[in-house]
Structure 1
Amino acid sequence: MAQIRIENVRKDFGSFNAVKSSTFTVEDGEFFMLLGPSGCGKTTTLRMMAGLELPTSGQIYIDGEEVGQKPASQRDIAFVFQMFALYPHLNVGKNISYPLLSQGMPRAQVKAKVAEVAKILGIEDILNRPVGGLSGGDRQRVALGRAIVREPKAFFMDEPLGALDAEFREHMSEELRALHDRMGATTVYVTHDQLEAMQMGDKIVVMNHGSVEQFGVPQQIYDWPATRFVAQFIGSPPMNFLDFDGTVGKGATAVQFGGVSFAVPQQLEGASGALTLGVRPEHVRLNDAAPYRGEVVASEYLGTTQIVTVKTQHGAVKARIASHEVIRTGTITGLDLDARTLTVFDARTGRALTSIANKEVLGHG
């Protein structure tokens, strides 16, 4: 397998800039997620890595070799599409064997490789069936089988589970991650589903409007988002935002607004003007004695937990609390925020200010 490096890669379609100078590294054997909303540039980035699109500028390295201007056929990669792209006139076994036969591999060796892959994917019993009558899950396994039978340097997957229903999609995501772990393959996977990215990925690149917003392991991205966009895109419900005008000095351990002082991690840079205090719902506690107050306007029951929405003068705050707690709509309550987990954003740029807590993730200080 192989390390993949992307250095200052840009892609223009005429006057439209689809990808803006992206730089990141996929380490050998990683399960790497390209995450973002529709139109953010993630699929274009994947297609450039695979050789299906050529970059306008920048370099792409696979296993140390610069391949930015080489076609897909010269990159030793396998691509799995969302809509499977199977050959309808061939049965399952012939679909899987096609890449090997096209390379001229002896038929006895091809048969052994197909049998090995079919066993890994649990599809030995359908090798002679036509692909047209298969379920979505089986068709996805066949598409995966056709990709892994070649043992390429890297696998590229463009929302391969997007056509499956929610329940089977979760099951297949577990299978896909287990398959990756058995093979130790370098895999780059595009998705718009942040839960899928958090569940499956070793590393995540979050993209928006053609730019890389943040790059890191799932827990870092969730706990310490680099931008307000990442904080809002990752998490269900997403991070809460309290907007205020004020000043945060370098070295500050609190922010003040609404007549209340909120303890925060020590700030390593200052800012003034329009600011935002961010907090995850699970780090909000309802406390009648707390000085910052609001009105309970909604409660959503989720089984073991409930999401309570509190309307405050600086924005709505969602709190994730135990489902057995009785919370009545219309009551006034206080809010405690876990100081260790708070992030201060510059509201004008959307960028998180560096603190003693997030400095390693943001790369400052």
Structure 2
Amino acid sequence: MAEIEVRKLRKVFGEFIAVRESSFTIHDGEFFVMLGPSGCGKTTTLRMIAGLELPTEGEILLDGEDVTFKRASQRDIAFMFQLFALYPHMNVRQNISFPLRCQGTPRAEIKSRVEETASLLRIDHLLDQPVSRLAGGDRQRVALGRAIVRRPKAFLMDEPLGALDAEFRELMTEELRGLHNRMGATTLYVTHDQLEAMSMADRIMVMNHGVIEQLATPQEIYDRPATMFVADFIGSPSMSMLHFEGAVEPGQNSVPMNGSRIPVPTLREGRANGELVLGVRPEHVTLSDASDFRGEIFGMEYLGTTQVLTIQTHHGTIKARVPSDNHVAVGETVGLELRSERLVVFEGEKGRALKSDLYLTPDRSGQNRREGAHG
């Protein structure tokens, strides 16, 4: 397997800029996910790495070799599409072995590698079955097998679970991550589904309008979003945004809201007068009669052990995930307490998170180090 390095990659279609000066590294053996909405540039980036699109500017290195303008067939990369693209007139064995037969691999080696791959994917009992009779999950395994059997340097997957129903998608998410762990493969995976990304990725690169918004581990992206876009895109429900006007200074540990002060992690940078936004996750909101920060409930979503309340305040709408045995009703005014050490302050105009003690995390030696908001 191999490391993939992308340097200042840019792609322009006419006057439309699809990818803007992207630079990142996918480490050897890493499960790396590109996440974002449709049209954000993630598939275009993937296609440039695969050799299916040529970049307007920038470099792509595979295992230290510059492959920027090499053909896809010269890159030793296996590409897997959303559609299975299996050969319907062939059985499972023939589909999996097809790349090896095209390369002129000896028959004995083909047989050995196909059986090894089928065993790895737990479809060895289906090798002589026609693919037209297989369920969606098994067809996906066959498509994976055809990619794996080549033993490429890296696997590139463009929303491979998008054609599956919810039950098979959840199963295949577990299977893909388990397969990655067994193989130690370098994998680049593209999706718009945050649940797939959060459950499988070692690191996630969130994109929007061709720009990398944040590159970090799933936990870092959820706990410490670098921008308002990331905070809104990640999480279900997403982070609530409460707007207020004012100025903040380095060392400040509260912000003005609702006629009082809301404690926040100590800020490490300031912001002049203007719109600011306080971000809070639903699970970091609790109900409290003693709180001066109040709002009116206008929505309730029952989720079994918890319920999600939608509450209107003077500073915007806030979601609160509370136990189901909290007896409240639509139209009721409630007091709100926010978990101060988990709050994020954003610049309203730029949407960028202000650095604070929230972005201080322990390193391996146990010492605190400050991380940039962009990981």
TM range (shorter): over 0.9
Deviating above 4 A after TM superposition, structure 1's stretches of 4 or more consecutive aligned residues are: none
Maintained 8 Å contact 1:154/1:186: yes
AA in 2 matched with 1:274: E
Task: Tell me whether 85-94 or 153-162 shows the greater mean CA deviation.
Answer: 85-94
CA RMSD of aligned residues (A): 1.0
Q: Distance in 1 between matches of 2:72 and 2:225?
A: 34
How far apart are 1:362 and its partner, in Å? 2.5
How far apart are 1:35 and its partner, in Å? 0.1
Q: Distance in 2 between matches of 1:242 and 1:290?
A: 17
Maintained 8 Å contact 2:34/2:204: yes
Query: Could you say which residue in structure 1 is the equivalent of 2:118?
Result: 118
Query: Could you say which residue in structure 2 is the equivalent of 1:93?
Result: 93
Query: Could you say which residue in structure 2 is the equivalent of 1:295?
Result: 296
What aligned pairs does 1:133-152 form with structure 2 within 5 A after superposition?
133-152=133-152
Query: Could you say which residue in structure 2 is the equivalent of 1:319?
Result: 320
Q: Distance in 2 between matches of 1:214 and 1:338?
A: 24
Query: Could you say which residue in structure 1 is the equivalent of 2:372?
Result: 362
How far apart are 1:298 and its partner, in Å? 1.4
Residue 273 of structure 1 aligns to a residue in which SS? strand
Give CA deviations for 1:23-46 in whole Å, capped at 9, x if unaligned.
Answer: 111111000000000000000011
Give CA deviations for 1:266-287 in whole Å, capped at 9, x if unaligned.
Answer: 1111113011000000000111
Q: Does residue 343 of structure 2 align to residue 333 of structure 1?
A: no
Query: Could you say which residue in structure 2 is the equivalent of 1:103?
Result: 103
Maintained 8 Å contact 1:220/1:361: no
Q: Distance in 2 between matches of 1:105 and 1:342?
A: 58
Query: Could you say which residue in structure 2 is the equivalent of 1:343?
Result: 344
How far apart are 1:123 and its partner, in Å? 1.0
What percentage of aligned pairs have identical amino acids? 61
What aligned pairs does 1:118-267 form with structure 2 within 5 A after superposition?
118-267=118-267
Residue 252 of structure 1 aligns to a residue in which SS? coil
Q: Distance in 1 between matches of 2:337 and 2:123?
A: 53
Residue 110 of structure 1 aligns to a residue in which SS? helix
Q: Distance in 2 between matches of 1:194 and 1:325?
A: 29
Maintained 8 Å contact 2:225/2:373: no
Maintained 8 Å contact 1:20/1:210: yes
How far apart are 1:363 and its partner, in Å? 5.1
Q: Does residue 290 of structure 2 align to residue 280 of structure 1?
A: no
Give CA deviations for 1:76-101 in whole Å, capped at 9, x if unaligned.
Answer: 01011100111122111111001111
How far apart are 1:250 and its partner, in Å? 1.5
Residue 251 of structure 2 aligns to a residue in which SS? coil
Maintained 8 Å contact 1:299/1:327: no
Maintained 8 Å contact 1:8/1:59: yes
Q: Distance in 2 between matches of 1:324 and 1:167?
A: 30
- Structure 1 gaps of 5+ residues are none
Q: Structure 2 vs 1, CA of residues 343 and 184 (structure 1 numbering), >3 Å: closer, same or farther?
A: same
Residue 362 of structure 1 aligns to a residue in which SS? coil
Residue 138 of structure 1 aligns to a residue in which SS? helix
Q: Distance in 2 between matches of 1:102 and 1:168?
A: 31
Maintained 8 Å contact 1:34/1:191: yes
AA in 2 matched with 1:113: R
Query: Could you say which residue in structure 1 is the equivalent of 2:41?
Result: 41
What aligned pairs does 1:69-88 form with structure 2 within 5 A after superposition?
69-88=69-88
Question: TM (normalized to structure 1)?
Answer: 0.98
Q: Distance in 1 between matches of 2:326 and 2:255?
A: 30
Q: Distance in 1 between matches of 2:155 and 2:15?
A: 31
AA in 2 matched with 1:311: Q
Question: TM (normalized to structure 2)?
Answer: 0.95
Give CA deviations for 1:154-197 in whole Å, capped at 9, x if unaligned.
Answer: 00000000001111100110011000000000000000001110
Maintained 8 Å contact 1:224/1:361: no
Query: Could you say which residue in structure 1 is the equivalent of 2:26?
Result: 26
Maintained 8 Å contact 2:226/2:373: no
Q: Distance in 2 between matches of 1:324 and 1:181?
A: 40
